[in-house]
Structure 1
Amino acid sequence: MTSIFDDIRNAFRLRNALNQLILINVIVFVVLLLLRVILRISTHSDDVFETILDYIAMPANPSVLLTRPWTIFTYFFTHREFFHIIFNMLNLYWFGMIIREYLGDKKLVSLYLLGGLAGGIFFVLFYNLIPYYQTRAIFATMIGASASVLAVTVAAATLLPNYTFNLLFIGPVKIKFIAAFFVLLSISGAIGDNAGGNLAHLGGALIGFIFIKQLQRGKDLGRPIHAVGDFFQNLFKPRVPMKVTYKNQSRTTSVFSSSPGGEPSQTEIDIILDKISRSGYESLSKDEKQKLFRASQKKD
């Protein structure tokens, strides 16, 4: 048991955003599962558990949502069924690896959170503005990370549409077709028993597409999320006493190089832009993409 807690601590200490998102979902699922079993044994009923779940599931009724504003965040870390969380976490792992490799941890977290928020907004708007859904809005609630996961999936397919997965029994398939299949599946389910969940999926898919398109234009939609995250990180970070030293040394700067993690030079950016015009965005290396994004963030 000690080794399990050590593994959890190490996962957060290593700052792998993909592993952390998956781990948070799994921890919430396990806690709810144990809680349900304990309450069922002790009360011989699921009523208490259902009441608890209502306070972390997102309601479609705006008047109820106003009394539980936190649910617009808690719902997309919450799962009740085993196959629901397995399916979502597998997709998050496969497509999240692409986002993390090419765009980094912060972009992955931004996509996950924005996808969940967009899914929640779609859920509330459709259930309260479209007559077909309005009769269900009073009691409808939603849980699950599907909107967030589909945001990551569509974002990966938008960034690298010809990236290929080898699917069991099928073989190599480009991820743009996999993402399109999930979107069509959600559209077809918008009139089924899980209509609210499928509407949320579409909100996540839309934000995933918009996020990458805006990022390629130099605008990071996740910047407000980064700012909030940095604020809380700096708030709890221990302060190190400042030590001032003075050195006299000559500095040589080359317009053709940039320090690791620093701002790329204008010459580098021009070379990268020329490469995009000749061969397209997908021809860039991971390092070139990161330099382009750093430069675009500086301009904002």
Structure 2
Amino acid sequence: MRLGITDAVKHLIIINVIMFIGTMAIGDGQLFNKLFTLYFPKNDLFQPWQIITHMFMHGGPAHILFNMFALWMFGTPVEQRLGTKKFLFIYFSAGLGALAFQLGYYYVDFYSEMQVIADLNLSGEMLDKILNIDTRQGDYLVGEKLGQGLQPILNEYGYSTNINQEQFRALFNMNAITRSAMVGASGCIMGILAAFGMMNPDAKLMLIFLPIPIKAKYFIPGIILLDIISALTGQSFFSPSNTAYMAHVGGAVIGFLIMWYWKKNDMNKYRWN
């Protein structure tokens, strides 16, 4: 393994840095976010191109720094081994897999809350307006803001049915899901990390905050397990609490499946070794 950086990794880092500078420098940080962040499909800001562009967006200096460092560290040897085309195939496939896992996770919660409000018989147009009420207060979403925005909508549609506490809670949770947003290359990089681990199972890796060398074949499944626990419990271990944990899991799973297929397939054009 030579030191340095491969072509695809270099260009991916350049694109990510350009997008980050644009986010910081243009439109007070709002223009790029509104255009290129991936919003939940029920959000008025959702656009189809965000499916790709969100992979090049980041939430802050630490976010992009850690992701680009990981992309260089693991992406370079993977691209050297697989070649640029296969590397990019894994990278973007893992990004799409991350998206599918995270959105699927959101939709399970969203439709479970839909059952709670079924008796309200809200029209689709009315519900969309409720879901897009701005409930932000600083860095938090608050129920009082939902209540303030809800009453004018009820009045507009002449809606007189009482909304009980459980139904209000469900509407608030659905609003929170609708206002969720995804940014970052983490899902793509988890796919590359899985590929690296399959090619180098005995390579020793370690976390910055836990400098204990662990073989990749144990380290990577351990990271995925922690992400699953975090997604199910809300308990964050090494990431910010707003991390899209299931996106990490989805990216790693897709990266693993692609590598497993290439490794096991007997047709030479699909093999990676």
TM-score class, shorter-chain normalisation, is: 0.5 to 0.7
Offset at residue 52 of structure 1 (A): 3.9
Offset at residue 167 of structure 1 (A): 7.2
- Does structure 2 conserve the Cα–Cα contact (< 8 Å) formed by 1:167 and 1:173? no
Question: Matches of residues 239-258 of structure 1 in structure 2 within 5 Å?
Answer: none
- Does structure 2 conserve the Cα–Cα contact (< 8 Å) formed by 1:150 and 1:204? yes
Structure 1 residue 61 corresponds to structure 2 residue 38: no
Aligned residues: 200
Change (3 A) 1:160 1:60: same
Structure 1 residue 17 corresponds to structure 2 residue 41: no
Give CA-to-partner distance per residue, 1:213-264, whole Å, 9 cap, x none. Answer: 011123xxxxxxxxxxxxxxxxxxxxxxxxxxxxxxxxxxxxxxxxxxxxxx
Which SS does the other structure have where 1:137 is aligned? helix
In structure 1, the residue matched to 2:228 is 187
List alignment gaps of at least 5 residues for structure 2: 114-172, 235-239
Equivalent residue in structure 2 for 1:158, among 184, 198, 201 = 198
Offset at residue 68 of structure 1 (A): 0.5
Give CA-to-partner distance per residue, 1:42-70, whole Å, 9 cap, x none. Answer: xxxxxxx33541221111235658x5100
Partners of 2:176 and 2:90 in 1: how far apart?
A: 29
- Does structure 2 conserve the Cα–Cα contact (< 8 Å) formed by 1:61 and 1:124? no
Give CA-to-partner distance per residue, 1:78-105, whole Å, 9 cap, x none. Answer: 1121000111111111111221122111
Change (3 A) 1:123 1:62: farther
- Does structure 2 conserve the Cα–Cα contact (< 8 Å) formed by 1:61 and 1:140? no
In structure 2, the residue matched to 1:296 is 269
Q: TM (normalized to structure 2)?
A: 0.64
In structure 2, the residue matched to 1:75 is 54
Partners of 1:134 and 1:116 in 2: how far apart?
A: 25
- Does structure 1 conserve the Cα–Cα contact (< 8 Å) formed by 2:78 and 2:192? yes
Which SS does the other structure have where 2:214 is aligned? strand
Equivalent residue in structure 2 for 1:174, among 203, 215, 224 = 215
Partners of 2:94 and 2:42 in 1: how far apart?
A: 20
Partners of 1:27 and 1:182 in 2: how far apart?
A: 29
- Does structure 2 conserve the Cα–Cα contact (< 8 Å) formed by 1:56 and 1:71? yes
Which SS does the other structure have where 2:178 is aligned? coil
Question: Matches of residues 277-296 of structure 1 in structure 2 within 5 Å?
Answer: 295-296=268-269
The two structures, once aligned, show a CA RMSD in angstroms of 2.9
List alignment gaps of at least 5 residues for structure 1: 1-13, 40-48, 219-291
In structure 1, the residue matched to 2:248 is 201
In structure 2, the residue matched to 1:95 is 74
Partners of 2:31 and 2:69 in 1: how far apart?
A: 29
Question: Which letter maps to 2:7?
Answer: N
Which SS does the other structure have where 2:26 is aligned? helix
Offset at residue 107 of structure 1 (A): 1.6
Question: Which structure has the greater CA radius of gyration?
Answer: 1
- Does structure 2 conserve the Cα–Cα contact (< 8 Å) formed by 1:32 and 1:80? no
Question: Which letter maps to 1:204?
Answer: G
Deviates more, 1:86-95 or 1:180-189: 180-189
Q: TM (normalized to structure 1)?
A: 0.59
Change (3 A) 1:158 1:101: same
- Does structure 1 conserve the Cα–Cα contact (< 8 Å) formed by 2:102 and 2:246? yes
- Does structure 2 conserve the Cα–Cα contact (< 8 Å) formed by 1:127 and 1:136? no
Equivalent residue in structure 2 for 1:85, among 47, 59, 64 = 64
Change (3 A) 1:167 1:76: closer
In structure 2, the residue matched to 1:261 is none
